[in-house]
Amino acid sequence: MKVKRKVRPWVIIVFILLCLCGVIYYSYEIITWKNDVSENKKIKKEIEGKIEVIDFLSQEKYDIDFNSLKSQNSDAIAYIKVNNTNINYVAVKGTDNSYYLNHNFEKKHNVAGWIFIDYHNNVDGLDKNLIIYGHNTKDGSMFGTLKKILTKDWYTNEDNRKVVLVTEAGTYYYEVFSVYSVVAEDYYINTVFSSDDEFEKFVTTLKGRSIYNYGTEVSGKDKILTLSSCTGGGKKRIVLHAKLLN
């Protein structure tokens, strides 16, 4: 005959307490996330007042008050815009690739982070591979709409082939040549190349990964822009590559 074991009261109490702790923790995380996202939206709106976009001979001209931006954050270094996404942000560059993963433009701790350029890059010199990162947020802020580049409506629309990057040195236009998702890796974020031949092999690989054939020629002499965001619980990356036109 089997003897039924009674569950001790303290075990039930501990179980209930653990469940309550879990609920409290995740509630706190959700509230923190919403508050941080809301704060970043306010900051972005304030920054937009320092950016003037003018239609000039059918091409947009950008007048950005970098002096004012730098007085707010000395790391402010560029402005990035991707057509038909919510990506139109002032980008920063820190001393590593970790700080702005959880700090916003005002350098306050923020789980949504901010848009930032790889600290290995020299923006003024326009390196061979200039890399910009941002979180893939559910609300569509930061690089939350970068996933649109993987949809047919986006990558077949010729209006979306141009990406704009503005620095203190000037305005630069890039033409998209590759969009894809890939398992998290270091290959496509390489910033150092020993020769034009090595770089040409590199961009040929990037072109081969694209889910859409843009038919854009990219050589070892070119310079490119890379946008990167995470997906799949951080296990994969959404990536856009574009070559400098001017």
Q: Map out the domains of the chain with their CATH numbers.
A: 45-244 (2.40.260.10)
- Tokens read off for 159: 């209006």
- Return d(Cα 20, Cα 18) in angstroms, integer: 5
What is the widest separation between alpha-carbon atoms in the chain?
Answer: 92
55 forms bridges with which residues in the sheet?
60
Report CA 171 to chain centroid distance, whole Å. Answer: 19
Using alpha carbons only, give the angle 233, 44, 92 rounded to the nearest 5 degrees.
70
**Is residue 24 within a helix (H) or strand (E), and if so which, with residue range?**
helix 9-48
The ranges of the chain with pLDDT < 50 are 1, 25-26, 28, 56-57
Residue 239's DSSP bridge partners are 180, 228
132: helix, strand or coil: strand
Q: Which stretches of 158-244 are assigned E, i.e. beta strand?
A: 162-167, 170-183, 224-231, 236-244
Of the chain, the end-to-end C-alpha distance in Å amounts to 86
The residues, ordered by sequence, that sit 6+ positions from 107 with a Cβ below 8 Å of its Cβ are 73
Segment 63-118, tens digit of pLDDT = 899 999 999 999 999 999 999 999 999 999 999 999 999 999 999 999 999 999 99
Torsion of CA 114, 182, 147, 198, to 10 degrees: 70
- Write out the two tokens for 61: 């001209």
Residue-level pLDDT at 109? 95
How many whole angstroms separate alpha carbon 46 and alpha carbon 51?
Answer: 10
Residue 8: per-residue pLDDT: 58
DSSP 200: H
